[in-house]
Amino acid sequence: MYNFIFSKIPALICNKVPATGIGFFRILYGLITLQEIIFLYYFNHLIFDPIPYIDVEFPTITFFLGLWGIIASFIVLGFRYQFAVTCNYIFWIIFVNFTTMQRDFDGGFDLFMIGTGFFLLFMPGDKAFSIDNLRYKLNTPFTHYKSYSPQTVSVLAYYLPIAICLGFLYIDSSIHKLFAEHWRNGLGAWLPSTQPYYVSALDMSWFLNNELLQKIIGYTILIFQFTFVFLFWHRRLRIVYLFIGVGLHLGITLSLNIYPFGMAMLMFYSLLIPFGWYRAMGEAITAKHPALTVFYDQHCPLCNRTVLILNHFDVFKCIDFKRAQEHAAQYPAIAAIKPETLLTDLYALDNKNRVYSGLDTYIQIGLKMRYLFPISIFLNLPGIYQLAGKKYRQIADTRNRTPCSAECIIPTGLQSDSLYHQFFEVIAAQKPKTFSRKLTKIIIALLVLQINSSIHYGIIYRLDIDTRQNAFTDALSKASNALITVSQIFFGIAPHALYLHDHFAGYDRILAITYTDQNGEEQWLPFVNQQGRLLAPNWGRVHMMWANIAVTPTVNNVRLQKFIMKVTAFWGQQIGLNLNNTEFHIKLKKIDAPTHWVYDQLHLNFSSPWITIGTVKWTNNVISYNLPNNINSL
């Protein structure tokens, strides 16, 4: 294994590919993190307060969520990339391990985001679609933007995260699936989609009621996950795995209410898109011919930096920037302008040979860039136009012009401060064998951590092997547990036994909460509806809390009461109820989670009747329960 990996690394490092996919992946990761922060902010009292709005244990939680949100925005924009991804990695670890997020509100993808965040520390995420890329260019403002060649990175930057974050996860998940009867029956995707707590607002019964199709999907998933890590890198098979993987996780995102998990998995397929497709998409959205030609003073630092900035945000490549001193003579309409006048303003020429100058040039740039047209319309408004023109004139007339020698327009290269640059470009070039040796050891170490987790939970735990039979196996088991703790905290390597037989076996009842309003009528709390579905926005980690911890095949009254308290206190406040003057009703309905296919099982579960099994009341901010002692017997 060591020699195989060691022999492959040098060739992969030397194989340079476009950085486009890495940049897109960074943006998706930042957006998913940002939406989860917004979710945590909205539900912060439910998740972090011991008693929502009544006993607030973390009053500064919103402040730290705000800081994290800024960091996530930096990642989306690619601004201060290394600083941003480092802070984000720390935030994920702290929030998951030192708050109630992991214990009571596991999002189902938290450890996955930690593992991905770890790899982002060493990925060249600043080389495409980033503000940092612009910042590096602005260090040499007299270098024309066309002098910069497209950024390339080692293909390892694509392969390693895919193999470890996706490939290892799939192998581990498929091992667990083999122990689940409904997966062996080909119904692994079907069963969760028939359970009211787990489905989204989309009615997918037309899809679920085709037994053959469901079994084809179930077995395809098993084969896909078992083979992914071994074959995804193959050029001809990559597209097959791309389409199956996107279909699988898009289906999870749309049909189930664990959408953050589905989106987190989907983002990795941006790394699997063939590089030629990115080039084709780029060619498809860019203009065939520039809609505007802008002339600028090549000796003016401000003008050069302005051009670099405008070109960076000219996504559709609609503007062509030319140095006035070199190219003005080629355009009669521009050549007619006196040189001393031409260099005092930014001039532009459109395809109809119309000339613009000063603020009008910027307005035309915004219009031609397409997505900036609202700014141009705003600048053209009466009053705004005059104020903006005055400010422009003030800046243009006071700018400094620095003579530029021939050497100052030679590209110097973009110098990144990322760990990828330091390790994969500097050290790998200076000491290739040493670097390959160390990287091989790191990969094998991560592989050992994953194997340890898979064997411990996927085989020993599933086969119910007693490791306490002798001192050696007991010590080995404890050491394995300690290693799993470390791998979970820092690398997100954990068992991926999601929605298996031990979750659904005996899952034959679900609970909901209603209340009596001021008119004496029973109303449903905006949490679980009459069908038994968890309503938006109670998805993601709130769904996990209720469907996986509060209500399980064997309901624990202590846990159930804790979360009934949290839900009634939170949603009572949200919808404006007088908590101390409202009676809540706990309702139960019978459902079925069969391991064999049943026609229209989703609607059978939806239509099952509710019965009221108890009540809950708040008095002076203290809750009291009138519930059966053993809900499992109902």
292 closest CA partner among 254, 256, 318, 266: 318
- 110 and 101 Cβ atoms separated by less than 8 Å: yes
d(CA 434, CA 443): 14
pTM of the model: 0.93
Is residue 120, in this structure, part of any structural domain at all? yes
Query: What does DSSP say about strands 16-18 and 522-524: parallel, antiparallel, or unpaired?
Result: unpaired
d(CA 363, CA 377): 8
**Tokens representing residue 50 in the block:** 């011991």
Q: Three-state DSSP class for 98? A: helix
Largest CA distance in the chain: 95
Q: What residues of the chain score a pLDDT lower than 50?
A: 405-414
**Tokens representing residue 249 in the block:** 């996780």
Domain-ending residue, one of 409, 439, 457:
409
What does the pLDDT read at residue 412? 46
Q: Three-state DSSP class for 372? A: coil
Is residue 26, in this structure, part of any structural domain at all? yes
- 201 and 537 Cβ atoms separated by less than 8 Å: no
**Tokens representing residue 43 in the block:** 């539900």
**Tokens representing residue 186 in the block:** 């080909």
On the question of a cis peptide bond just before residue 537, with omega within 30 degrees of 0, the verdict is yes
* DSSP assignments along 437-468, one per residue: HHHHHHHHHHHHHHHHHIIIIIIITTTT--TT
Report residue 193 CA to chain centroid gap. 23
How many domains does one find in the chain?
3
* The residue to which tokens 């689940």 are assigned: 180
CATH of the domain at 312: 3.40.30.10
Is residue 537, in this structure, part of any structural domain at all? yes
User: Could you tell me the CA-to-CA distances from 613 to 77, 177, 510, 541, 606 in Å, in that order?
Assistant: 52, 35, 12, 26, 19
d(CA 201, CA 212): 24
d(CA 462, CA 482): 19
What does the pLDDT read at residue 26? 97
Is residue 477, in this structure, part of any structural domain at all? no
End-to-end, the C-alpha distance of the chain in Å comes to 55
- Assess whether 403 and 516 both reside in one domain: no
Average pLDDT, the chain: 91
CB hemisphere CA count around 262 (13 angstroms): 17
Report residue 418 CA to chain centroid gap. 21
Domain-ending residue, one of 358, 376, 409:
409
What does the pLDDT read at residue 147? 76
Cβ-Cβ contacts under 8 Å for 338 (sequence gap 6 or more)? none
| 251 Ramachandran zone, left/alpha/beta (phi>0; psi -120 to 50) | alpha
**Sheet with strand 509-516: strands edge to edge:** 522-524, 509-516, 583-590, 610-619, 622-626
Is residue 258, in this structure, part of any structural domain at all? no
491 closest CA partner among 108, 115, 111: 115
595 closest CA partner among 472, 500, 498: 500
What does the pLDDT read at residue 406? 44
Q: Three-state DSSP class for 627? A: coil
**Residue 392 is inside which H or E element, if any?**
helix 384-398
Domain-ending residue, one of 94, 115, 132:
132
- Residues paired with residue 18 on neighbouring β-strands, in sequence order: 152
d(CA 210, CA 213): 5
What is the domain extent for residue 595? 506-633
CA 310-311-317 angle, to 5 degrees, is 125
* The residue to which tokens 């613009």 are assigned: 356
d(CA 44, CA 46): 6
d(CA 379, CA 381): 6
What does the pLDDT read at residue 403? 56
125 phi and psi angles, rounded to 5 deg: -70, -10
C-beta atoms surrounding 60 within 10 Å: 8
Burial of 450-466, coded b for 16+ CB within 10 Å and e otherwise, reads bebbbebbbebbbeeee
d(CA 97, CA 105): 11
d(CA 228, CA 231): 5
User: Could you tell me the CA-to-CA distances from 625 to 193, 204, 483, 613 in Å, in that order?
Assistant: 32, 37, 42, 11
User: Could you tell me the CA-to-CA distances from 89 to 14, 25, 49, 114, 300 in Å, in that order?
Assistant: 29, 16, 24, 6, 41
Q: Three-state DSSP class for 137? A: helix
- Residues paired with residue 516 on neighbouring β-strands, in sequence order: 522
Q: Which amino acid is at 217?
A: I
**Residue 353 is inside which H or E element, if any?**
none
Question: pLDDT for 165-212, tens place per residue?
Answer: 999 999 999 999 998 999 999 999 999 999 999 999 999 999 999 999
Is residue 199, in this structure, part of any structural domain at all? no
- Assess whether 399 and 510 both reside in one domain: no
- Assess whether 512 and 400 both reside in one domain: no
Q: Three-state DSSP class for 515? A: strand
**Sheet with strand 292-296: strands edge to edge:** 319-323, 292-296, 347-350, 355-357
Is residue 569, in this structure, part of any structural domain at all? yes
Is residue 628, in this structure, part of any structural domain at all? yes
- 567 and 606 Cβ atoms separated by less than 8 Å: no
